Structure 1
Amino acid sequence: MSYKVIIIDDHPLFSRGLAQLIETQREYNVIGIAKDRNEALTFLNNETPDLSIVDLNLGQEDGLELIKDIVVIHPKSNILVISMHDERFYAERALKAGAKGYIMKEEAESHVIDAIKTVTKGEIYLSDNERNRLKEISEDVKSGLEHPDAISTLSDRQLQIFTLIGKGLGTVEIAKKLNLSIKTIDTHKENIKAKLHCSSSAELRQMAIEWTNKAV
């Protein structure tokens, strides 16, 4: 049996290297490479891959939203995230969006192949550290304990805006990029400030900058 794979990543050198690695496995065939959401959706409207490999950082686009798109178009297609973003901050969100696995780009090639084979079978792939971390959080929740990571309380949209703040974008730029009104962005920012216990926009911006540098 041959599994069809599409790679969605905005770094051509990485995509080509990953494609070569995948095709060392006889049962896998890379049928397409896309560098952004539009290319990916165009391809996915014409092909049905068994596995979609997605990076979360697609230039100015959000990989989490693309995962949700893929789930709608091909509900039975498995999705693996391979990203430079720290798994502590994004793995759980990727799974909730519809991915079956998450692995960081810094992992060894053998781990990448393991992740691909696991997800292709429809099983969940996470590193041992992340699996244990999520287990601890689950146990804390069951025990009624509040988990200390305030970032985890942000919605996907709020995290997206928080990340853009950390990258230096202002309210107007964020509104234009996300095709939302300035008022909507301001409302999200106020809600983010409340969740993160920031007393001012300057404090929020500084926290966002520090967090964004740490998350990648």
Structure 2
Amino acid sequence: MKKVKVLIADDHALIREGLCKILNMQEMIEVVGEAEDGDQAVELALKHRPDVVLMDINMPGTNGIEATRSIKSQRPEIGVIALTIHDQEDYLFELIKSGVSGYVLKDISPDLLVQTIIGVSRGESFIHSTMTSKMFSEFNRLSSLSQRHTNSQGLTRREFDVLSLVAKGDNNRSIAKKLYISEKTVKNHLTNIFQKLGVDDRTQAAIHAVKSRMVEL
């Protein structure tokens, strides 16, 4: 039977070593590489073409969310499982949008982790049970927001997110951190927002958004 090839991406050497030992004990799994940051995760994923990547979220440089987007855009067949200590819903939704197939916490049992890896390699999805109710609550909230702001000035959902934070006074670095995107991406969104709203800068954009009730402070 063909083994499931796994790439481990985590900036903590101890965690990588522990995962390697656990997974290499499994007859159906083969660890093909280890990455200590997001950039290396992308590089090794494209080089080794694993079936599954175990992806930590918070890593230096390119974080796990950006790394996942990059991998999925170039190799959509690779399954990505977010393995993290965080059970906050904002991580979950950004990861789902980036293309992950699984979201598990680092206190997961070895047996369940192995089952999740094998399942994801077969095209299945898995979300940790503690996040399920939060996921549905947030999807309902987003659906409600979408109905209120559909096609507001022609902005996309992401552009609207950026505009909302601009109106609240966030700078580009803060926006990038909250939305798990790069500052360059924030600047590109702002350029599009200014064009669609017919304004010249972020101050005018914020004033326009508040006056037209596109956002609520």
- The TM-score range, normalised by the shorter chain, is 0.5 to 0.7
Aligned to 1:79: 80
Q: Distance in 2 between matches of 1:111 and 1:181?
A: 38
Q: Please list the CA deviations of residues 5-26 of structure 1 after superposition, one character each: whole Å capped at 9, or x if unmatched.
A: 1111111110111111112221
Q: Distance in 2 between matches of 1:128 and 1:163?
A: 29
Partner AA of 1:10 in structure 2: D
Partner AA of 1:67 in structure 2: T
Q: Distance in 1 between matches of 2:23 and 2:114?
A: 7
Report if aligned partners of 1:87, 1:103 keep a CA contact under 8 Å in 2.
no
Aligned to 1:161: 174
Aligned to 1:33: 34
Q: CA deviation at 1:162?
A: 5.0
Q: Please list the CA deviations of residues 109-163 of structure 1 after superposition, one character each: whole Å capped at 9, or x if unmatched.
A: 3332232222222111112232233234445666x589xxxxxx846xx797358
Partner AA of 1:38 in structure 2: D
Aligned to 2:55: 54
Structure 1 residues 24, 87: CA separation in 2 closer, same or farther (over 3 Å shift)?
farther
Aligned to 1:97: 98
Partner AA of 1:30 in structure 2: V
- Aligned residue for 2:81, secondary structure, equals strand
Unmatched 5+ stretches in structure 2? 147-159, 166-171, 191-200
- Aligned residue for 1:122, secondary structure, equals coil
Report if aligned partners of 2:6, 2:52 keep a CA contact under 8 Å in 1.
yes
- Aligned residue for 1:61, secondary structure, equals coil
Report if aligned partners of 1:87, 1:102 keep a CA contact under 8 Å in 2.
no
Aligned to 2:133: 132
Partner AA of 1:104 in structure 2: L
Aligned to 1:12: 13
Report if aligned partners of 1:44, 1:73 keep a CA contact under 8 Å in 2.
no
Q: Distance in 2 between matches of 1:154 and 1:97?
A: 16
Structure 1 residues 46, 140: CA separation in 2 closer, same or farther (over 3 Å shift)?
closer
Structure 1 residues 196, 64: CA separation in 2 closer, same or farther (over 3 Å shift)?
farther
Q: Distance in 2 between matches of 1:160 and 1:130?
A: 28
Unmatched 5+ stretches in structure 1? 147-152, 166-176, 199-216
Q: CA deviation at 1:90?
A: 1.0
Partner AA of 1:21 in structure 2: I
Structure 1 residues 26, 65: CA separation in 2 closer, same or farther (over 3 Å shift)?
same
What's the C-alpha RMSD, in Å, of the aligned pairs?
A: 3.7
Q: Distance in 2 between matches of 1:160 and 1:93?
A: 17
Q: Distance in 2 between matches of 1:139 and 1:44?
A: 34
Partner AA of 2:11 in structure 1: D
TM-score by length of 1: 0.66
Q: Distance in 1 between matches of 2:25 and 2:58?
A: 26
Q: Distance in 1 between matches of 2:20 and 2:120?
A: 16
Report if aligned partners of 1:3, 1:28 keep a CA contact under 8 Å in 2.
yes
